[in-house]
Chains A and B, each alone.
Chain A
Amino acid sequence: MTRDDIKDLILEIIKDIDEDANFATLQSDQPLRDQLDLDSMDFLDIVMELRKRHKLQIPEEDYPQLASLDSCVNYLEPMLKNV
């Protein structure tokens, strides 16, 4: 997966959680929670979807790595490079 593919994957998962989510003004380097209607349970949904779709096991201590879109991509890129 390219960095853009990973970005699309995350946005697609967020759209599944909240189809009213508006990405028009989303800043990729800023925390997703500050910009979208997402809470801790939604983040667990993102983790679960990554597990279901790509068998990724993300340890709890790494959850902060999913804070922004950019940090998601940075964190997931090595795991998804062969997908």
Chain B
Amino acid sequence: MNSTTTQPIYNKLTSIRQSTIMDYNQQRIVITGVGLVAPGADNLKDFRTQLLTGTSKIREIDLRYFGPAPAGICTFDETRYRKKKENKRGTRAGCLGVYCAHEAMADAALDIDFYKRSRIGVYVGLTEHGTVETENEIYNISQFNYDVKYWTHHHNPRTVLNNPAGEITMSLGITGPHYAIGAACAAGNASLIQGVQMLRLGEVDMALAGGISESTGSFGIFASFKAQGALGEAEDPRMACRPFDMARNGIVVSEGACIYVLERLEKALERGAKIYGEIVGYCINSDARDFVLPYDKRQAECMQQALDRAGLQPSDIDIINTHATGTRQGDIEECKAIRQIFGEAPSPYINNTKSIIGHAMGAAGVLELAGNLPAFEDSMVHPTINVTHLDPECELPNMVINKPTQLPSVSTILNNSFGMVGINSVIIVKKYRE
């Protein structure tokens, strides 16, 4: 056959493929359950109260080799869903993830057998994994003159990248796919996007998607930020994370986790599920420029592409939850990006969750989104705290500073989450309407 005869077949196949992709993309994916652990809360209701009251639980911890540093540490019932023995065998990330996954299932009022266990996917976003376990093990063998015969046999199963997601599947008896999404501090959003895509592709019928961070257990992560001049410090640790403020001096590292139940809309409606919101838009892109420095142009493109996918205009967005971590350049770049996209729009209200809970790394995007989802019900915008002198370069209309704002209604939330080595992610969630 020559190209003249094959072309019509190719065109027809392409057309079928495109219409199939269109069908996939038209499937509506909703959030029906949220399980979370943040520094200061172990469920969404308490988390929302904490954010609306702007109550920081950041405190000073003492790290091996490093010394004192402000950090966000989580307190929760670690043995609610598995034994102490399993927590000891596994990792802190696994422990956080197992708690959140069970809590999300309970919140969704979902029995584990509602969907076939082989048709449930577990997608966990991680900034890093294995750092804590490796540091601990090197310390352990240092007590034995660095004799590697004392290196634990638990090292490999603890440090494989799928560890936290795998621990969730073991605890819940899920036999569908599980894996980690590595996307620096955009990983939480990236895993949510993965969950949406796998549901749309028909690969799974339900997804547990979210992010986890155990980074407060690693002195190296603190030391690296410090060496970079990007570690937040303050006499009062609760004041150490202060995005947009002139006195900001860096990141406050937190642990935390947040796992969502994602379902197809029709199935969620069929079983009468509570619907937190519908994921209508998303985008992930790359700066292709620098290891650590953020780039407003690509961040703006990422927001625009998420809006395009959602079929929304900038003026349709009610809340922008910023990624801003409290570093000088990072905060300014994001504000520049927001100006580029929203400059002409009736301005959305802008807040920042890290000012209250610190930077939960791989869990940041999903925790911050979760903290804003109740706005669909209470129409409140939680504040950015610790802003005494707003940096003029960060000034935007409708920034919600130090106290919450009551709006007539909230229908759309845009959640930014960016990460090192130039990765940007944006998710847009809409209040569910038929």
A residues contacting B by CB (< 8 A) are 17-20, 37, 41, 44-45, 48, 51-52, 57
Nearest CB of chain B from residue A80's CB, rounded to whole Å: 19
Contact with B85, one of A37, A51, A52 (Cβ below 8 angstroms): A37
Listed A/B pairs (8) with beta-carbon separation below 8 Å: A17-B85, A18-B83, A18-B84, A20-B84, A44-B153, A45-B153, A48-B150, A52-B144
Q: Are B150 and A17 in contact (CB under 8 A)?
A: no
B residues contacting A by CB (< 8 A) are 83-85, 88-89, 144, 149-150, 152-154
Residues of B within 8 A of A41 (CB): 89, 153-154
Q: Are B152 and A48 in contact (CB under 8 A)?
A: yes
Q: Are B84 and A19 in contact (CB under 8 A)?
A: yes
Q: Is the interface of A mostly helix, strand, loop or mixed?
A: helix
Q: Are A52 and B150 in contact (CB under 8 A)?
A: yes
Q: Are A51 and B83 in contact (CB under 8 A)?
A: no
Q: Are A18 and B85 in contact (CB under 8 A)?
A: yes
- Besides A37-B85, A41-B154, 17 more A-B contacts (Cβ < 8 Å) are A17-B85, A17-B88, A18-B83, A18-B84, A19-B84, A19-B85, A20-B83, A41-B153, A44-B153, A45-B153, A48-B150, A48-B152, A48-B153, A51-B150, A52-B144, A52-B150, A57-B149
Give complex CA distance A17, B88 in Å: 8
Nearest CB of chain A from residue B151's CB, rounded to whole Å: 9
A47's nearest neighbour on chain B, judged by CB, is B153
Give complex CA distance A37, B83 in Å: 11
B157's nearest neighbour on chain A, judged by CB, is A41
Nearest CB of chain A from residue B413's CB, rounded to whole Å: 43
A21's nearest neighbour on chain B, judged by CB, is B85
Give complex CA distance A37, B88 in Å: 14
Give complex CA distance A37, B153 in Å: 18
Given contacts A20-B83, A41-B154, contact A51 B88 (CB under 8 A): no
